[in-house]
Structure 1
Amino acid sequence: MNGRTNWLQQLFGPRHKSPGTPKPKAPNFEETSAASANTSPAPSDFVRGLVLTTNGQYEEALTVFEQMILSERDNSSAYTAKGNVLGRLGRPEEALLAHDEAIRLTPNSTHALYNKGKTLVDLGRFEEALPVFDQAILLASSNVHHPLTLIAFGGYEKDMATVAYRHKGVVLTQLKRFEEALPVFDQAILLAPKDAEAHYYKGVVLTQLNRFREALVALDVAIRLNPKSSDAYQYRGFALSSLGRAQEALPAFEQAILLNSDNLFAYYQKGDALVTLGRFREALTALLLAMPLQLDEYSAYRDTSMSFIVPEHYNSAVFSKRALVLTKLGLFEQVVANFDQLIRLNSEDANAYYGKGSALVKLGRLAEAESSFRQAIQLKPNDLNPYLELASLFVQIGQQEKSLPVLKAAIRLKPECIFIYTSVLNELGRFEEALASAEDGVLLNPGNPTAYRDKGLVLGMLGRFEEALLAFEQAIRLNPADADLYLRKANVLKQLGRREEALRTLEQAVRLNSDDVKVYLVIGAELFERGQFKKALPAFEWAIRLAPDNALAHYSKACVLAELGQFKKSLPSFEQAIRLNPDDPDGYRGQALILQELGRADEAVHLLQKAQELER
């Protein structure tokens, strides 16, 4: 059962006790240590209370210890035992009062301080627990070499110091003070080199510090000392995965599962490693075994040394990873069902609605997708992604107007979103508003070339080419390696009648990005317009080499060949353009004209009819 909380370690830090780890050889400080307190109770009553506690009969044990206190008000052992029982009954506030009374009666009692610290941890009061453990460590350490203590308790105080150090380290880990926790665990190891838990926790802290190679060393020691620790194997797998050694990590996760089949996080991490290896079907199986944790069962598995841990976080991680795998497999219906299950577990999970919305878009269920994105925004208004997905959805269905208020909200979260807003206004033909938006973009992002590019585009749409040219030149100054900016500058130069400059600018674009098909299409078109057909032909042929499925490249090549009088050679290019883009009437019309030139007018008729149908 304890293994059900194993997944908590990686997401939120280690637990107080590693499942599969045997109890230390030292006495049980909650029970047997109470018997060694300064005031010795009647053996029959005290032993009876301890036996009842051991048997899980906590209410009966509580009655015994309370009766002892009534008869012996200064019995610190009875208060300690009472506090321990109250803790097991889930009454930590009352337990704390009992431990405080034990400390008042016996201020130098190491075990009373230890139990108070542990109770404060149970209450999530970590900062208060730290000085208590420090005091317990100080007292235990001062007695370590006392001959009478060692004879009487067989090294009890030394063991007490080790346990107190370990608990202090766990508290520091809970507080995410990992750099401070590390030397504390080192001190516990110095006192007890064979303490498997101390080595285990040291490994956990090292993973939190991203010191994965050192973590492996510590975890290997923990495994050697306690080969039945599922958690140690699981963390070993995590460290290996984090080092990019996913294949080596798999056996560690499998051993963790073999030792504890309830180790949910081992299943989760195994699935994650399999995703890294591209073994998606196997990953899905592992992630399905990383079952979600029900809210009503959480308390049964929660280790009280862990605080502020919510099962929703684990569930969200598992379902998100499952969704990733299902998406890779193209199973979008199952992605939707996956997030629906997560939403049933936690209707406040914004990421679940966002993920569901994205899958619904893939399925073409756009109205449902809109609803999911809006729900995600309502639950998590500062998350940018749902705004962008919702705006994109509206653009996709031709409702650009509805995207504008969504994008305005996105701009408040990320100023760069104004570029998308400007683009949508441009698409709507609202050029004056688009220009105002573009100028706002320049003010918000003065060092971003996209701001000047957008301004240049809008100015071009308004016919203000001189100003557009200045905007594109500024964009190029900010990003001189962007070939697309040179294409846009060349287009403006062409509009201004400065065609030689335009051609030189296009040649610069080619030098910058010789693998961009668009560059060759533009330069080919410019040469075609100039009537330089022989020079245009290699540009289009190169475009086809780069993008064999580009219909425009084949159509352009066909037109050049036709202008060169090579009618028969042009036919295959027109046919390929039609195959690649059967909805373009120009391809049919071009092929028909060539057939007429070749005296095959009868064949041209049906092609012209097809072109007319497409234009209706």
Structure 2
Amino acid sequence: MDEKLLILDLDTFSGSERFLSKTGLRTAFSQGMRAYLDGRYAQAVGEFNQALIATIVETDEYTQIWDRERAIIHLYLGNSHAYQDNWSEALNEYLNVVQIDAQLAEAHYNLGVAFRALGKLNDAILAFKVALEYNPDLYEGHFALGRCYHELGEYAPAYISYTLARQIRPNAAEPIYYQGMLHQAHGEMREAARCFAEALQVEPEYIYNNRLAQQVPELPPAEHDATWYYQLADTQKAQGNLSGAAQAYRALLNMHPNEVKGRYFLANILARQNEWEEAIAEYIRVLELDPKFVQARYKLALSYRAIHQLRESYNTTLECARQEPNNYTFFISLGLILGDLNQFGLAVKAFERAAQLNPADPQIYYRLGRALIMAGFEERAMLAWQTALKLNENWQPARYDLGLLFIKRGRYPEAIRCFERIYRQFPDDVETAYLLGLAFKELGRLDEAVELLENVIRARADHYMVHFHLGGSLLRLGQTAKGMAHMREYERLRAAQAHPRQGQPGGFSQAGPRTTGQPFLGEVTPPTNPKVNGNGFAKTNGHSNGNGTGKLNGYANGNGNGSKIGPLGPVDLAFIPGKMSQN
């Protein structure tokens, strides 16, 4: 290591007045402190050890010490070893301290110093971070953390740590000087010279690079600082360290609170980490600085939706659509929010507008189909899903829901074509296997139905409707004993599941949109697995007609044809109601 870090003492002994009582403990500790302050560290080690022995062998009430008092003795014992460069012994004492009293920030810091002295930089970094958890304003902790990162070649977090140290102690030359060293390592000699000169200015006695200090450039520090913070944040994001990038943006905003781009990037990171309340506050601040920043407004709307503040999300998205009426993404989001609010007719119009603006996007037609189903327009939903599949034949959510609609309408050959294609791609999907088996059964292809339904039973023995349809198929094939066994199991499971958990009507999770996109993403990408994730529009009951053939219900009521809703004009927002109030 190029230099030692400072060892910290404690500022106070408050609560440890018993060290001053007339006991062997008091005598040993007092003599140890006197030797320690005089720099006689070997003698101090002996006295502090005697103090620890006194707590064991003496029985007076004044020698019965608290954990904090015992930790203090170990801390100064460790410091005495450290000043003699006996780092292994010092390390052991500091470990004793943090085990006895984990809340002593100075102990964690000194532990980090010992780790660094022994070349264990990663352990040192962890110790310094713990110290900063207990005392975020510990200047020495931030600076030491920067030195460790610097020595590991991790320049971005090192620069951030030096910056935080400078914010706590603006007149300290050390972090400024080492920021200059980082610039120098990158070949940025003018910026390095400026740091060296600034270090000299704030602390004239500090050792600095005199040659470079003669080359101080005439550049505005603010411009340099902003650029550097953005570079540091980009480096952290490239390494997958979002927390480090957020720290860089926060450091930038501490110096330049009106930096709109930095605040927007920070809000995006907070949203990606699901820290929605903080993200919302930052987006609002961005819009206060720049009301025309429509992407920030859109991200604000998505954040509101993520925490189910739907009216705020709607009103914010509506404002985005007013600012950019030809942006189809905003209309997709409006459709989703209106669906969340059970305004399915208006959701249909929003998706139709999105389809006009971007007719080549299959997700729009898929979402349009779902809104049409909920609004009661089955024929139009079918056309929307078929359009989605023409645009992207691998869009399995549309194929799955289309298959459900075919089963509901008794169009079993078409349903089979839909589910067979999904099943070939996802042979472990028991829901697809169940629906395919059901379609085979309704079409009279009983052997194929039995084979599939038996596969489902092996995966989901508690799915009582599979027992019902499997039993019915076996009875029709003349296998009476097996068929009746499954019928009895159906009755038993149905009685046991008379009150199923939410999301599992009929012993099975609801068939749903099979999408995995999060609200914050603002779009849906073609999924790689059609597994259900979300609420569905259909559920199975399979026994409502009493003949064992089964059918699907759960669709919204409607005549399934006709069109009550006309197309929208190119920039027509009249169909959207005004801002929604909290009431």
**TM-score bracket for the superposition, by shorter chain length:** 0.3 to 0.5
User: What TM-score, normalized to structure 1?
Assistant: 0.39
Which of 1 and 2 has greater Rg? 1
More helix by share: 1
User: What TM-score, normalized to structure 2?
Assistant: 0.41
